[in-house]
Chain A
Amino acid sequence: MAIRVLIAKPGLDGHDRGAKVIARALRDAGMEVIYTGLRQTPEMIAEAALQEDVDVVGLSILSGAHLALVPRIRELMIANEMGDVPILIGGIIPDEDKAKLQEMGVTGIFGPGASTDEIIDFINTIVKDGDGFEAASKTD
């Protein structure tokens, strides 16, 4: 069963090479990558995550607006009963913001220099039960 990953670029930033490199690497690692393209609002990202029932949301942010965008996306995902879906961030994140993002519920942050293997391993480790079937079967 393939792990499904949403790769999205929130906000106003037109540089998607990094996002595409990651998308391609995850594809080659056997994952199904839903690629949404540029300039996505938090609402669009949360909606795509819901409709696609992804196991991981990967955000590429180079604009510096991460502290504004991430909490909104997280909030919308929680409202959609997707609070358990890990959010990973790639791009330019200053060290002093990393702890804040983690407090906001971000599971992993990968800056320049992070290898694609590292990201793949990370995803494989955190996604245990892809579509949530076992977890859902246990409740009730």
Chain B
Amino acid sequence: MASKPLQKLTESLLQGNRRALSRLLSYVENEREGVDDVLAALFPHTGKAWIIGITGAPGTGKSSLVNTLAKAYRAHGTTVGIIAVDPTSPFSGGAILGDRIRMRDLSGDAGVFIRSMATRGSLGGLARATRDAIRVLDAAGFDLVLVETVGAGQSEVDIVRTAHTTVLVEAPGLGDDVQAIKAGILEIADILVVNKADRPGVKKTVAALKAMLELGHPASLGQLVAHHGRLLPVEDKANGRNAETPMWIPPIVQTIALETTGIDDLMTVIEAHRNHLVDAKIFAQIERQQIEIELHDRLRETLMRRFLQDIDDAILADVIAQIQARRLAPQTAIEQLLRHM
């Protein structure tokens, strides 16, 4: 059971107190004692928010897009929680969290809550505590949680394990069509946005992405790309789909975040993706997978922590020395160490 002050804080959070919300987010981030009980108490209140991940390379306009998108949702009365992740310095442990600079339009709106997070050593594009922070915002009653990842390279794909809809933001002039067929981040997108669509090279970028979809999607077979964003019935028996199960082809949306151009289109395809997941009963399947991944992550962390707590430091130091002297292979060492558990 959580301590009394933590219980009080949890109650205030559920009543919509913003100070309680920001405090709890810090405790979650700092892994404070008793915070697991708070998260457990909040858990029944979660599962209502739609979680949208915004990812893409640095400088493609993720923060500006989050700003414009959040503003557009607010115009419809939807409340928006935002988590913006920026990298922690591997040397000092410090960070500059600068995503708010682009989100000044959202200031003064009680229907918006923006929180910046540093990665604190996490490598997948999110912070370790991001998943829990999303749950806290969800429990606080936000209809929508927008998660902006760090400026992602090719393999920062944690967001897809956390979000319901993943939006990948590209900008013109960042790479040729070989970049577009590489594995990794492009594969995780539910929606592709080409932002800064007033810049030269936008046609080329869109064409490369279209070509990527043609090659990459077993369902697309040429003509589907012309209908990108629509749901077309596809025969794919190997994966247990039948002709009635529609397949999602990632639509390509062109936006100019600073001028709000294309934002309505983006909202439309996000809604379409949400309907697709829910209608095709894929949502439950995705949620199940995400829970499984989360459990694996947590198990790994907990087992590791317990192991390090239990093991005698001298034994560990001895094993390291033996490996360094080439008397013991790292693979054999693991077997030996596990016997101490």
CB pair B107–A47 under 8 Å, yes or no, is: yes
Known contacts A27-B96, A44-B104: A1-B18 contact under CB 8 Å: no
CB pair A50–B92 under 8 Å, yes or no, is: no
> Using a Cβ cutoff of 8 Å, how many contacts connect chains A and B?
106
CB pair B5–A137 under 8 Å, yes or no, is: yes
Question: How long is the Cα–Cα vector from A140 to B2 in the complex, in angstroms?
Answer: 14
Question: How long is the Cα–Cα vector from A139 to B7 in the complex, in angstroms?
Answer: 12
From B32, B92, B107, B115, contact of A29 by CB (8 A): B92
CB pair B116–A52 under 8 Å, yes or no, is: yes
Known contacts A52-B115, A81-B19, A140-B5: A35-B98 contact under CB 8 Å: yes
Q: Is B22 an interface residue (CB 8 A)?
A: yes
Question: How long is the Cα–Cα vector from A51 to B136 in the complex, in angstroms?
Answer: 13
CB pair A35–B92 under 8 Å, yes or no, is: no
From A24, A28, A130, contact of B30 by CB (8 A): A130
Residues of A within 8 Å of B9, CB to CB, are: 136
Known contacts A36-B101, A130-B30: A2-B120 contact under CB 8 Å: yes
- Using C-beta atoms within 8 Å of the partner chain, give the interface range for chain B: 35 or more
CB distance from A19 to the nearest CB of B (A): 11
Question: How long is the Cα–Cα vector from A137 to B32 in the complex, in angstroms?
Answer: 11
CB distance from A11 to the nearest CB of B (A): 14
CB distance from B295 to the nearest CB of A (A): 26
CB pair A47–B108 under 8 Å, yes or no, is: yes
From A32, A44, A137, contact of B94 by CB (8 A): A32
Q: Which residues of chain A (1-59) have a CB below 8 Å from chain B?
A: 1-2, 4, 23-24, 26-37, 40-41, 43-44, 47-48, 50-53
Residues of B within 8 Å of A23, CB to CB, are: 96
Known contacts A34-B116, A81-B19, A82-B19: A2-B95 contact under CB 8 Å: yes
Residue of A nearest to B35 (CB): A133
CB pair A48–B5 under 8 Å, yes or no, is: no
CB distance from A52 to the nearest CB of B (A): 6
Question: How long is the Cα–Cα vector from A133 to B23 in the complex, in angstroms?
Answer: 8
CB pair A34–B97 under 8 Å, yes or no, is: yes
Known contacts A27-B94, A30-B92, A47-B108: A133-B32 contact under CB 8 Å: yes
From A27, A30, A53, contact of B23 by CB (8 A): A53
CB pair A53–B92 under 8 Å, yes or no, is: no
From A2, A24, A44, contact of B118 by CB (8 A): A2
A–B pairs, 24, beta carbons within 8 Å: A1-B30, A2-B94, A4-B26, A24-B96, A30-B92, A31-B94, A32-B116, A33-B96, A36-B100, A36-B104, A37-B100, A40-B104, A43-B107, A44-B104, A48-B100, A48-B107, A50-B19, A51-B115, A52-B116, A82-B19, A130-B30, A132-B26, A136-B9, A140-B8
A residues within 8 Å of B by Cβ? 1-2, 4, 23-24, 26-37, 40-41, 43-44, 47-48, 50-53, 80-82, 130-133, 136-137, 139-140
Q: Which 5 residue pairs are nearest across A and B when measured between Cβ atoms?
A: A37-B101, A27-B94, A131-B26, A53-B22, A30-B93
